[in-house]
Amino acid sequence: MSSPARVVIVGASIGGLTAAETLRQEGFDGEIVLVGDEPHLPYTRPPLSKQILLGDWTPAHATILTAGQLDDLHIEIRTGCSAVGLDTEARVLQTSAGSMPYDELIIATGTMPRSHPLIPSASLRTMDDAIRVRDRMEAARRVAVVGSGILGSEVASAARARDAEALLIGRSGILSFGGAGTLLDAQLRSLHVANGVELALRTRILAARSTESGTTELVFEDGNAQTFDLVVTMIGSIPCTDWLASSSLDVTDGIGCDPHGSAADGVWAVGDVAAWFDPVRGRRVRIEHQSNAIEQAIGVATRIVHGTDSPQPVPLFWSEIHGARIQAYGRFAPERPLEDISDGDGTGPVYASRDAAGEVRGVIGWNTPPRAFRDARAAVVTAAPDLITHPTTTPSPAVVPPPALVPNP
């Protein structure tokens, strides 16, 4: 396999930067160009809805590598530069700063927040977004969070940590947690209620009005109207693929890839924007978690340098909500209730998700010590169903009650 002379990486967050670092670590000595549309050096995004929003971190804490460290790795970074088009046959990336030829292209452009049709409110994607929301939350007495996913829960948690009243609004009636879907709905409800978050999970917003005092009035379908100092919308995300509309790539839901991240000859995709084929599920899947972006980036960079395939990444994600650390590893079937597999030592529950054959496919730790969660992860079967030996009997999954919860002081 001939070595490429120039690798261009679009997207300067954790996925793109990890790919660049891994290329160097694996011995690639060609040119690496890292293109990012933000003015900042690469930073990690999970702290935006956690430490940055809480005021525990400054933006500098989230920066991954300094300009000097990038220079030491001979990685050229072009900030404030947006991708606007791609010619896969000519191997040319079009950017806001002009055309950029490549031998291999890695796309790590991530996602953008889905906008609410009625609410011109704050959201969280970039560092600048997080700083604006943080500054407004510092003075807010009442905060509304629209969106019942994991980020909505994190923002509501941050509001309560700042002693603001928090209303968490959704339409589905259920709380979700990343790749575990709605399996933790009961536990998350109990956690929010114990920490003073008001839940309105079957609520439709009919109108949003700005007041002269700078607050926002939300009008609900039952006729009730409430005023908030800050409204944050976290209603999902959209893959950043608009700039690829005229390319030959499949961008039906993210960038369609094979099981190793190849989207076309010389084109790869990693992270939130990438829909890799998952042999366990038998379809392409996008996974919006940082650990997945890191593992995919390592795999792609290794394949570019050595031509060898890395193991298929197994989803790993986590959150901290009202002080509770929740970790999930593996794949989860929404139709199969979780099973409590804790050993009863009182250190925090561990839940398992089994497939129809009784194999453990995913585990969740709730304030579980690191060693106990590592042990639980070891029980997860990661191979595709046709590559494993099924047991002759299938354990009956049990519906799991919420863990005992104590409000934060």
pLDDT in tens, 47-77: 989 999 999 999 999 999 999 999 999 999 9
Which pLDDT tens digit goes with each residue over 222-269? 999 999 999 999 999 999 999 999 999 999 999 999 999 999 999 999
Q: Which amino acid, one-letter code, is at 140?
A: A
Predicted local distance difference test score (pLDDT) of residue 310: 86
Nearest alpha-carbon partner for 374 in 347, 336, 406:
347
**Average pLDDT estimate for 150-173:** 96
Predicted local distance difference test score (pLDDT) of residue 382: 87
Which pLDDT tens digit goes with each residue over 19-38? 999 999 999 999 999 999 99
Tokens standing for residue 60: 């500098």
Give the chain's mean pLDDT: 91
Same fold, 6-112+237-306 and 118-233: yes
Predicted local distance difference test score (pLDDT) of residue 386: 56
pLDDT over threshold 80, residue 44 = yes
Beta carbons of 243 and 251 less than 8 angstroms apart? no
Using CA atoms, how far apart are residues 156 and 149, in angstroms rounded to an integer? 11
pLDDT over threshold 80, residue 392 = no
Using CA atoms, how far apart are residues 354 and 333, in angstroms rounded to an integer? 8
Percentage of the chain beyond pLDDT 70 is 92
**Average pLDDT estimate for 172-201:** 96
Query: What kind and span of H or E run contains 128?
Result: helix 127-139
Comparison of pLDDT for 121 and 394, the residue scoring more: 121
Class of domain 118-233: alpha beta
**Average pLDDT estimate for 314-330:** 95
Residue the block writes with tokens 């009442």:
142
Helix/strand/coil for 53: helix
Per domain, the residue ranges of the chain are: 6-112+237-306, 118-233, 332-387
**Average pLDDT estimate for 278-302:** 94
Predicted local distance difference test score (pLDDT) of residue 345: 66
Nearest alpha-carbon partner for 87 in 259, 264, 242, 238:
264
DSSP state of 108: -
Q: How confident is the model at residue 394 (pLDDT cuts 50, 70, 90)?
A: very low
Helix/strand/coil for 203: coil
Q: How confident is the model at residue 312 (pLDDT cuts 50, 70, 90)?
A: confident
**Average pLDDT estimate for 132-138:** 94
**This prediction's pTM:** 0.89
Q: How confident is the model at residue 3 (pLDDT cuts 50, 70, 90)?
A: confident
- Give CATH for domain 6-112+237-306: 3.50.50.60
